[in-house]
Structure 1
Amino acid sequence: MRGLNEVQSSTEQKIHLMNNKTLPNGDEPEGDWESPTNQIEFIEQSRHDHKYSKGVSKLFDFALSYMADAEKGNQNGKPAVWSTGLMEAPLIYACDIVPMAVYDLGRLGSAEGAAQLSEDLFDMPKETCSMVSALLGEWYQRRNNSVKKVVALSTVCEPLNMAYEMIREFGFDIHRVDQVIKPIQGGEERLEQMIQYLTRELADVAVFLTGKPLDEAKMAVEIKRMNRLMAKFREIIKLRVANPLYIKSLPMLFLLMGSGHYFGKPEAYEVLLDELIDELKNAEYVPSPLGKIVPLTWVGARGLEFGVYKAVDDLGGALLSWFTPNPYDRIWREDIPPLEAMARFILEYFVTGSPVNQIKYIEKMIEDSGSKGMFFYTYVGCPYGGLHVELFRDYFHKKGIPSSGLEGSWQVGAPSGQLITRVRAFIEMLS
């Protein structure tokens, strides 16, 4: 296998061919991959590239309308709450409330301006995690909006915990969930104690949101919905192995994020999954622009730099599995009380827990998708992501699985040239 330095010349020649709209077989590539400068343009270009898919177009409609529809609904009597948008949907929907995902905040907005605003208002050092800086600025710009409740999970990251405290002065009502992490030691007795504690913490969320105890029957129904939807999502993942570029990386990113909150439209999201499954089962094969497919696994944050995903697709890569904060690969228990089921699910999965607990899931994803390599993606200044990546990288390096680390920023413009060059070189190395 060639090293990254050895393939730079070949990669640059390929880039030149694509920028000049000519591929080795004489065909022209789809679209102009260098032209988009913001997230909306990347989405519209991807929509055009997927003009054969009504499902993908509908997915982008959901993504673009998600925040505005939730805010409008909140004003019209359908309550909404800020949350992580990762795995708390069964609890929040059981309270008849729409989750507004913190991590989608700014994804389609002006995060660069928000980060600068945060630095100016709060004297945030430039070394601060770009995600936290941008979110503070985004919340400040939304300080007069109607959605004021926030459910904050304490183990997401410590800088974000501090940011939650800072936005209290803007009138946001913060409810902390003291979220524990699965112990490596201590045995079943210790684990059961933590489950009981976290169950009580989750019960308090319902009281915070509604002023009354949780309707457990409703949450049991929502858990069944989550399991049903994730089974459909896994079917899409499986079908993509045979036709990787029918649904390319960017729409898969949004489909993945939607698995944690359904874009505020649970019934419509399920219909969308069914439509995409039907399309994949009957679709013609979509070839790579360069005549090859390199199956890959994405590990880490769900980046905002959409050009990275486009570069993967255009150079023959296919992100066929995703180890991100969205745990689509696991099942909620339906045979125990719903809050206990949620506590057990969190303790088994949570990505900010010990990396030791997570490696087995990444290995299974690599095996199921036939991945030849892995991208590890973290945000600049992330205090825990970098450490996790190094632990993962060391483990999989010893297993002989190639990887490339990508460090991006929480910004909505085109990705840096350096980031794209790393993507291009890594895929070329695996070809």
Structure 2
Amino acid sequence: MQAVMEKASAMEKAPSVPNEPRNQLEYIEQSRQAHGYSKGIQKLYDLALSYMPDAEKGNQEGKPAVWSTGLMEAPLLYACDTIPVAVYDLGRLSAAEGAAERAEELFDMPKETCSMVSALLGEWYLRKDNSMKKVVALSTVCEPLNMGYEMIKEFGFDIHRVEQVIRPVHGGDERLEQMVKFLASELEDVAVFLTGKPVDEEKMRFEIKRLNRLMAKFREIIQLRVSNPLYIKSLPVLFLLMGSAHYFGKPDEYEAMLDQLIEELKTAPYVESPLGKIVPLTWVGARGLEFGVFKAVDDMGGALLSWFTPNPYDRVWNEEIPPLESMARFILDYFVTGSPVNQIKYIEKMIEETGSKGMLFYTYIGCPYGGMHVELFRNHFHQKGVPSSFLEGSWQVGAPSGQLLTRVRAFVEMLS
């Protein structure tokens, strides 16, 4: 009881911070201060902010690191004694303003180009003299980014492509087994690219077991949040999602942080909404970079309790079959690379489990892939009577537009 009272007192005394952060790092610092009562959140942000600098330093000192998607490849890369450095987390952990503009100038890219691809090309250009030059590229994630990989070869990046396949609709079990075998061979080639030899299967089995254990703990945190949604607000949950794919390069520390948060949530005092009511919500689509959107949700009494994002934290890897086959089957069942029609059932399950009253669909400006999926989702859930709001954001460093924030606030207020 004494510990609970001390946490409650710490919440009340958390220092105030300016209302208008200028970049992602300032939003993180604001959130860190707002969560001053949580040792787990402090450790989470420590891991996030040290992730890429430590990976690069380690790489310079002989600990291999490789650029990757940061989605589901952790067991394979860690089994190769290689730190996965997530391409898609560059902007969230950077304050390098003007990265997209730099890419547009270098490559004469049209303004309509996906903001994510433009920004990532700019980020890589700024890192062209750094030591991490290997890239594992998963082909089915984003076609414009596939072209971007070709562009950065001139900066000395060594690109290894993984030709992924999508689970077949027709052809039956025989066709599926052919795809499993092909994809497993592609994944084996990743190990050869990184180490010069086939993957150590015992190491990969260990990593698969670790991933399953960590994701079970992650899911426990998601479940505990339903009863106390604002103890861990939206931005830290986004970073927990990010870390679920690569552990910020420090698996043991990431697991200890998850354990800390579980213990906190079990005993934490209930955090009231600033407006007296909490509106449970589901986030669908990209993991946004415009952190002000997440703050606006919190400020209006919204609580993002379920996340349908590229991080498949709700899946379990098969530990009973060969590890490369397990990874291949996981990818073929992975909802992001499949048809959005097949993904709907997973979103419905999340809404039911968390009691969500509405949905926020988020995609990046200029992303046809995300935009088409969102339209299919919106139409389905509109017919089901589930309120939703479509947010089109930018892969940028800085605060979101006032128009975007107004839409978020109005939507949450409507559901209150």
Same fold (TM over 0.5): yes
Give the aligned partner of residue 7 of structure 2: none
Aligned equivalent of 2:187: 202
Q: Aligned partners of 2:330, 2:155: CA distance in 1, in Å? A: 33
Q: In the alignment, what sits opposite 1:221?
A: 206
Give the distance between the partners of 1:428 and 1:29, measured in 2 at CA. 26
1:101 to 66, 86, 92: 86
Cα distance in 1 for partners of 2:27, 2:108 equals 32
Q: Which amino acid is the alignment partner of residue 325 of structure 1?
A: P
Q: 1:111 touches 1:410 (CA, 8 Å); kept in 2?
A: no
Aligned to 1:66: 51
Displacement over 6 Å in runs of 4+:
27-30
Which of 116, 123, 127 is residue 131 of structure 1 equivalent to?
116
Which residue identity is paired with 2:202? A
List alignment gaps of at least 5 residues for structure 1.
1-26
Normalising by structure 1, what TM-score?
Answer: 0.92
Confirm whether residue 351 of structure 1 aligns to residue 336 of structure 2. yes
Q: Residue in 1 aligned with 2:75?
A: 90
Alignment match, 2:309: 324
Q: What is the match of residue 276 of structure 2?
A: 291
- Once the two structures are TM-superposed, the CA of residue 77 in structure 1 deviates from its matched residue by 1.0
State the Cα distance separating 1:352 from its structure 2 match. 3.3
Q: Distance in 2 between matches of 1:200 and 1:333?
A: 18
Equivalent residue in structure 2 for 1:240, among 225, 231, 236: 225
> Conserved in 1, the CA contact under 8 Å of 2:14 and 2:33?
no
How far apart are the structure 2 equivalents of 1:212 and 1:202? 12
SS at match of 1:73: helix
Q: CA deviation at 1:111?
A: 5.1
CA contact (8 A) 1:308 1:415 kept: yes
The whole-number CA distance in structure 2 between the counterparts of 1:399 and 1:182 is 27
User: What SS does the aligned partner of 1:258 have?
Assistant: helix
Classify 1:306/1:63 alpha carbon distance in 2 versus 1 (closer, same or farther; 3 Å): same
* Deviation per residue, 1:21-74 (Å, 9 max, x gap): xxxxxx999846742121111111111111100110111111111000000000
Quote how far apart the aligned CAs of 1:172 are: 0.5
Q: Tell me the distance in 1 between the aligned counterparts of 2:260 and 2:95.
A: 32
Amino acid at match of 1:317: G
- In the alignment, what sits opposite 1:394? 379
Q: Residue in 2 aligned with 1:369?
A: 354
Secondary structure at the counterpart of residue 151 of structure 2: helix
Q: Is the 8 A contact 1:349 1:358 kept in 2?
A: no
Extract unaligned runs of 5+ from structure 2: 1-11
Asked if the contact 1:181/1:350 (under 8 Å) is kept, the reply is no
- Distance in 1 (CA, whole Å) between partners of 2:173 and 2:381 is 29
CA deviation after TM superposition for structure 1 residue 186, in Å: 2.3
Counterpart of 1:187 in structure 2 is 172
Offset of residue 400 of structure 1 = 1.1
Aligned position for 1:314: 299
Q: Bigger shift: 187-196 or 197-206?
A: 187-196
Matched residues, number: 405
Task: Quote the offset at 1:296 in angstroms.
Answer: 0.4
Secondary structure, counterpart of 2:91 in structure 1: coil
Question: Partners of 1:292 and 1:100 in 2: how far apart?
Answer: 39
**How far has the Cα of 1:353 moved from its partner?**
2.2
In 1, the alpha carbon distance for the partners of 2:372 and 2:171 equals 24
1:419 matches 2:404: yes
**Are the structure 2 counterparts of residues 263 and 139 from structure 1 closer, same or farther at C-alpha, using a change threshold of 3 Å?**
same
Identity, in percent, stands at 79
Instruction: Say if 1:422 and 1:161 are closer, same or farther in 2 by CA, change over 3 A.
Output: same
Letter aligned with residue 99 of structure 1: P
SS at match of 1:120: helix
What is the deviation of 1:216?
0.7
2:234 matches 1:249: yes
Q: Counterparts of 1:268 and 1:120 in 2: how far apart (Å)?
A: 40
C-alpha contact 1:108 1:412 (8 A) present in aligned 2: no
State the SS of the aligned residue for 1:100.
Answer: strand
